[in-house]
Amino acid sequence: MKLQEHAEPRADSANSASIALPSAYRSGPFAFARKAWVIAEWEARKIRHDFTDLITRAVQPLLWLLVFGETFTRIRAIPTGNVSYLSFLAPGILAQSVLFISIFAGIAIIWERDLGVIHKFLASPTPRVSLVVGKGLASGIRALPQAVVIYIVALLLGAHLQTNPLCILGVLVMAVLGAACFSTFSLIIACLLKTRDRVMGIGQVLTMPLFFASNAIYPISIMPDWLQLIAKVNPLTYMVGALRTLMLATTTDYSSLFLDFGVLLGATIVLVAIGAALYPRIVQ
């Protein structure tokens, strides 16, 4: 009897708390954003328990800047106009880091399925789109420390980058958007293939073509014609273009940002819609 007496007030207080919330926050875009953020925040908590993951992921892009960037800056083998190759390369390496973080995000989905977490998500009233967007935002949160580290290291190496707070904020926004785009693509692959080994294999196959078939380490103008066509439909190209516009200190024309941001946002929306439709298949 005592247990029941203590349990009833808790239920009543929970109901009164839910009733006290404005209806706009329990449905519509506010509820969608809140549920997506809960998923993202749940994923981001994992970072606090394993900082070594962030450190090890930062090693490869730093090697690209220190070895590849410094060497090609000296030999001037790649034409970059009045911009040093190191400055030209820094946005591309930042995009590469975001790509490598995100393209294997689908493996975590399979782990969650094996642990029964996905079943609980699907049994909840949370919209599938919120689940997918939340996963994309979580990858974006993971990419932010990498963006900060690469930006600081590039400045220390002598790259001429923007220090305008608005431009830096734009760089962080593009990093989150790019991470959401490629992690959602990885989620779609995971929903179709359903095994960790297959997702890992496809991720390894895709990362290098996506990276080298973009303007990350050389201008599109020096590519062969067939590769230029591929680069123009590669979302990473538009992410690099936006980052380069925002990061380079010599930038005076920001009009290309609208195209770069629009293409990347459009690709992300399409991938989120596909991912939301395929998400239940991960448990089938």
Answer whether residue 141 shows pLDDT above 50.
Answer: yes
In percent, the amount of the chain with pLDDT more than 70 equals: 86
Q: In 10 A of CB 96, how many CB atoms?
A: 24
Give the separation between CA 241 and CA 235, rounded to whole angstroms: 10
For residue 39, give both structure tokens.
Answer: 């998923």
Burial class (CB in 10 A: 0-12, 13-18, 19+), 50: exposed
Please state, in angstroms and rounded to a whole number, the distance separating the CA atoms of residues 212 and 99: 12
Q: Which pLDDT does position 9 carry in this prediction?
A: 40
Kindly report, residue by residue over 259-281, the tens digit of the pLDDT. 999 999 999 999 999 999 998 88
The string of DSSP letters for 119-131 reads HHHHHSS--HHHH
In a domain, residue 182? The reply is yes
Residue 145: what pLDDT?
A: 84
75-90-186 Cα angle (round to 5): 125
Q: Is residue 260 a part of any domain in this protein?
A: yes
pLDDT at res. 101: 85
Q: Which amino acid is present at 40?
A: A
Average pLDDT over residues 130-139: 86
* pLDDT, tens digit (0-9, with 9 covering 90-100), for 46-94: 666 666 666 777 777 888 888 877 777 777 778 888 888 889 999 999 9
Task: Provide the CB-side half-sphere exposure for 192 (13 A, CA).
Answer: 10
pLDDT score for 142: 85
- Nearest C-alpha neighbor of 147 from the set 171, 166, 163: 171
Q: In this predicted model, what pLDDT tens digit does every residue of 180-206 receive, in sequence order?
A: 999 999 999 998 988 888 888 888 888
Mean model confidence pLDDT for the chain? 82
Evaluate whether residue 1 is within a structural domain: no
Give a yes or no: residue 204 inside a domain: yes
Structure tokens at 34: 């809140």
Could you tell me the residue range of the domain that residue 156 belongs to? Answer: 28-283
Number of domains in the chain: 1
Residue 12 pLDDT > 50, yes or no? no
Q: In this structure, is residue 6 part of a structural domain? A: no
**Residue 8 pLDDT greater than 60, yes or no:** no
Q: How would DSSP label each residue in 182-214?
A: HHHHHHHHHHHH-SHHHHHHHHHHHHHHHHHTT
Pull the structure tokens for residue 164.
């305008």
Tens digit of each residue's pLDDT (9 = 90 or more) over 220-271 = 989 999 999 999 999 999 999 999 999 998 888 899 999 999 999 999 999 9
